[in-house]
Structure 1
Amino acid sequence: MTLAPSARSFLTHGEDSLLQAALDAGFVLPYGCRNGACGSCKGKVLEGLVDHGDIQPGALSLADRAAGYTLLCCAKPLSDVVLECREVSGTNDIPVKTLPCRVEKIERVAEDVIVLSLKLPVNERLQFLAGQYIEFLLKNGKTRAFSIANAPHAEGLLELHIRHVVGGEFTSHLFSHMKEKEILRLRGPLGTFFLRETSDKPIIFVAGGTGFAPIKSIIEHVLHSGIQRPMRLYWGARNRAGLYLNDLPERWMAEQAGIHYVPVLSEPDAADQWAGRTGLVHQAVLEDQPTLATFQVYACGAPAMVDAAQRDFIAHGLPAEEFFSDAFAFTKATD
């Protein structure tokens, strides 16, 4: 397989996907869910044939497929392939580990959101980039992926923000049965959603629901590292309860001159007594910025929100290569 435009090539083996083959060869490509749902790993097949594999509905449009695009996490090569995709630098030196962990704290911060704190073995450390995720390895062979919400410098505990999915196997266990001290197995770090620190452009963060988690990690890393880039955070939720850690970004804005925070509710309850912004969170960005030509954008949340943001932001002047995303997607079985 050959990557364009870098012209770097490598061999594929067995039944691996294009993404897995690239990762095994040491090439880091953009990806998110790795199950054909989020669309983050979309690439264009310039030459050769691929089996598109098991792509979930909505992740790759018919127009994209007709134009030669595929999802690298699902597609497998049927011949020599030349693939046009963006390569990512920054994760090559970080090992992916499989580790046990202990549930240290279960904190319910909203009716349907838990902040889960995990403790690793004393002699182990999980190196990661702010914005990456881990996946739990379940006893039935399935996996469940969640973004790391703490910054890399905050060693000791891993923090995850987990929303309850009705009927979801893992989250139902978490909300109803999981106890502190329970032992879990995790694998990570994974994903290519992290801050591109070589840029000095101002940043717009767009979070939907628990998509706040990896963005929290990135912002806390920026503050800790002394990176001087203006940041605007737009956090969208259905109602006030969905902004489950609202005091934190409010404190960032009060204490840091370079941070501006805009919470947005799509369906505020009467009890919320909400006087702030309403509507779709990415629309609030468009309303505030005459053009996005000078920004970098990091968006995390439901696939529909991320897709709409990418489409509308690029139409609003954002360079396509300055949009970075992590679309939360559930596996086909629930949760």
Structure 2
Amino acid sequence: MNLLWYWMLDTPRGGITDQGKAAAFTQHLRGAEGQELETSLFLDEHGAPHFVRVRALRARDIYDTDRFVDLVGVACEHMLSVLKLAWHPNASYVPMSVFIQEPEDGSGAGLQVQWPSAYGFNSAQAQGLFVHTFDHRESLRLLADGLDERVPIQYRFLSLYKFLEIRYRNDSDHWDFAALRKACDPQLREYDGLKLPRTFQAELKHLRDRCAHIRTGSGKKRRLGVTALNPEALKEVTRMMPLLREICRTVLNSELDGKVVFNDLRSWGERFSRETESSANIVPSGLNPSTPAAKASD
């Protein structure tokens, strides 16, 4: 049995199919534990890169993904690096992927992707956000960069880290974690419940070092920092990002004092399988998230 992963390149161009379609090229990869992959690039009718397919060969069943997933991620990210250099420096994937079992005849899959209206726009909300966050524009940019899935995750982490650093790290380079816990106690209790080997402050510093430096430690203990091609380091920072995002959301909501309330900062990819609760993720003061024509407070 073969398993298939697909990634579409931005911008979407309707459905994707590899049935009866030749790949621009296919590269065979073998993992350290014997996993075998075929990574293929498909072009659109104009000869531009359209989507990437990774085929995991000889899986035991459709649930046999753990053996392959790290190598699949490496192949996906390496292909994107290649496309940035060989095609366009702004090449990026649409923020979703498709996973499917391949038919036994090895014919690939035909997929028609329809986009739900998760990107609904409310101009009144946008105006309220512009007005009420102008004095917080540096923080808003750090938050936006931390949420931008086109940005490598190590830089997204550092953006959210800087968001907190400018608030809770003083001129003597000491963090006021007591103040941070007071502001975000529910989120930090959630971290405590994960039972990780490091305290929140130690984990924050650990991940900051791994994201900021290509290698950490010394001698034989030196370790590669966080990159998309280092699966183990990537897992460490990935598990922290949702919690860090919630901490930053809570802090900013408190500072905006109800003029604008950020309700949901999850990415489109995290939310797309669920029915959205509103047409926007930002709710001006005094309005329910489901209010269709929300207006910013004065």
* Structure number having the greater strand percentage: 1
Instruction: Give TM-score scaled by structure 1 length.
Output: 0.25
Indicate the structure with greater helix content: 2
Question: Per chain length, whose mean CA-contact separation is higher, i.e. which structure has more relative contact order (CA < 8 Å, sep 6+)?
Answer: 2
TM-score normalised by the chain length of structure 2:
0.27
